Chains A and B, each alone.
Chain A
């Protein structure tokens, strides 16, 4: 496909609308996956199209199209206009072009080495070596290694002057080992849920020695878990590693504070929220140690960007400060509908979906405690790493998480490894039980490509960074 001139396409649209926007997305996802030493996937998938969005009579209408010539885009705009006009009399809110503030600018992922510095053959070779390193014994019955590279270009132009070009390079790396002995199966991965996801280039794969050492540890821990005792049951303290905090933040803070959920848009699918509009500025969401930031400006984090898909410039904002809920995750449309301050988080999964309120990078800011100080403060508890199971109710209250790997904490010391660790709780009291928070040395930066939400459904990438954190008096239990 020849390079698209969005400005020319925009000027070719001749309709009577209050605002028109074109958002071109071209995204190529390269997946290389080796299991048990054999290639499973070497795939390059490219999606490329334009979302034509029109505002008329206070209602937006859209047409996402894979036909990108001038005549087709003009026709798409006419059809989007019809959608908008037919729906306007039933509109949930009468918008103006204030919902699409004009910005111009550029964003580019920060990376050191372009991905084409590693050939497909070299990357397969590395993944095969990782497979070998994972298989530390005959008890390891299956291993795999994944490298996923996403190259994305977003270009957004609008009739009120927006012109934003953003280029992303995103890499996900994972390695996994499953061990078996008798009836026991245990799986260990690199951070759970494809958690090792960043904006980066081929430098992610530069330090082969380090990667192979990680793989060996994953393999060893999968075997170690086979003979580990079951995680104990009872009410006790838990210390969560950053690769579990990722999901804790995501499910019990991120989704709960999305303004479109609070406004009810998601009630038929993802659900509502225990957070009410009146809670902002008042609700003691967590203990005073809790500081949550929405920050798409973190270099290298998975969901960093310069502007959201409504064209709003992205900036760091505190969502929770000293435990108090300050603002929600609401883009410009939600801000207008609710009358509340928000953030630049109006995002779409691709050209074929309309933007909605999403998380970007949502991080728990570090505190002052060392890992040793945190562990030494626990008389009886469990330290847990790497999410493997997650579930929360439609109001984001009652959650349950399971982790891959855990150690008992007894009298201030890490002792035995235990398997099948799980815990459950209710979001608001749980965050208020946050007792200690790790310093920057305990901080880990993770992300996941798999946040699902919206109708029609959309999967989007999010980033979560966190220090190690200690929560008091949590219900803990083991496996089946």
Chain B
């Protein structure tokens, strides 16, 4: 793939005319998907997909184009050059862009991670037998992922990796569910079978009668997966500098009114794991580590170079969408073994579902409990709870009501596959809050 990318870039850059600048992005995957329902195969197949995205800049104007990569190279080269010619005709018709960011050469990078994954032909036979006897539903996704970036200033980045994930739920006959994920790079059949066996064990406590709760305020422990759902919301009208500037950020109050979260709360972009490329769509390389919220105070927003130019800020080489690419939340001192004791009486929430801002600039989020969520009394799990809706603000559960942060950090891989298989994930601990609002 890298060779094709190099050849296409060379062909495109050789066609540039005086005063033209070009950035080329490449994203691709060779994937296997196996969809499972009731521990049986619902759908299975393979996907080979790759896109080439071009950004042509000329006379302070910008035009984008994107086409599917059609191998072999000779076919692709002709299509890419045709696209460049189309963009050349269009770009001169567009208004000037005062915030244009021209490509620079700040150095090139290359990272290729090979893995000993599960061969596609063996996947079904390796995965399905361990599911025997339970109602398991989920998705297996595996294979190579490619990312490339090059520009007419001579800079080039290439990132290539191979990953797998089985994201699944196990369901009891009376519809209670536990969530599991087994993900990585090198396949380990024994470890996979242990993962499934552990999830089966978790079902035992789910077999108790469900407890129906009334709306109200509850002392609550959020397991890491639930915390990550809250933090995900920061990437949607939250931590983006553009959203703060344009009046659509839940964190805007931290800038304009000096609002703070709890001093126990720390959030950063941390690329040191190397699981995602540090370069963005402009080929800019983000810092290894960037504190976002430090001891409850807004330390940095994510600032793209375009936003920096528009609002006269300093870029921290965020992506154009200014979303988090490698978020990490700091741990605290609450040991996992002490969680139930410290919770005392209240809620143990493993997972959340369908979060949305119910008041975006107010920082209020609504959503629901899902999967293994329990009622706890005097430090002991009593029963799973019926699904409840919550509606509460980040300024309470990450702020005034945050009592303790867990000592153990869990890595939660990003298993979404909308545009293609996502890279990376989120590292975070659980949190204990004094009060959390359930509404329905």
Contacts and interface: CB of A to CB of B under 8 A. Distances in A.
Interface stretch (A39-47, A358-366, A464-472): A39-47
Contacts of B121: 82, 86
Interface residues of B, number: 96
Interface in A49-67: 49, 59-67
B43 A60 contact: yes
Interface in B26-56: 31-35, 37-51, 53
B90 A91 contact: no
A243 B434 CA distance: 39
Contacts, number: 254
B47 A39 contact: no
A389 interface: yes
A339 interface: no
B43 A62 contact: yes
Given A38-B97, A61-B45, A393-B353, A402 B137 contact: no
Nearest to B395: A480
B359 A480 contact: yes
Given A42-B63, A272-B175, A400-B440, A66 B68 contact: yes
Contacts of B90: 42, 44, 120
Contact of A45 (B42, B66, B247, B362): B66
A452 B418 contact: yes
A66 B71 contact: yes
A117 interface: no
Interface stretch (B251-259, B268-276, B336-344): B251-259
Nearest to B356: A391
Given A90-B124, A141-B247, A180-B247, A65 B67 contact: no
B364 A479 contact: yes
Contact of A263 (B34, B37, B418): B37
Interface centre among B38, B167, B171, B246 (most CB of A within 10 A): B246
Contacts of B245: 142
A452 B417 CA distance: 11
Nearest to B91: A42
A228 to B, nearest CB: 14
A217 interface: no
A391 B248 contact: no
B400 to A, nearest CB: 13
Nearest to B42: A92
Interface in B55-73: 61-71
A43 B90 CA distance: 10
A445 to B, nearest CB: 24
Contacts of B93: 119-121, 124
Interface stretch (B14-22, B149-157, B385-393, B403-411): B385-393
A48 B70 contact: yes
B22 to A, nearest CB: 15
Contact of A394 (B49, B53, B86, B353): B353
Interface stretch (B103-111, B294-302, B366-374): B366-374
Nearest to A425: B440
A81 to B, nearest CB: 11
Contacts of A67: 48, 70-71
B363 interface: yes
B423 interface: no
A398 B368 contact: yes
B304 to A, nearest CB: 12
B24 interface: no
B246 A141 contact: yes
B66 A44 contact: yes
Nearest to A458: B418
Contacts of A480: 358-359, 362-364, 393
B141 A271 contact: no
B169 A44 contact: no
B50 A66 contact: yes
B50 A393 contact: no
Contacts of A354: 43, 45
A314 interface: no
A388 B138 CA distance: 30
A90 B33 contact: no
A132 interface: no
Contacts of B34: 87
B79 interface: yes
Interface in A436-480: 452, 455-459, 475, 479-480
A205 to B, nearest CB: 16
A91 B69 CA distance: 33
Contact of B44 (A47, A83, A272, A393): A83
By Cβ-Cβ distance, the 4 closest A-B pairs, closest first, are: A480-B362, A62-B45, A121-B93, A43-B64
15 contacts: A35-B246, A39-B61, A43-B63, A43-B65, A66-B68, A80-B46, A87-B34, A87-B41, A87-B124, A120-B93, A265-B37, A391-B366, A420-B359, A457-B416, A480-B393
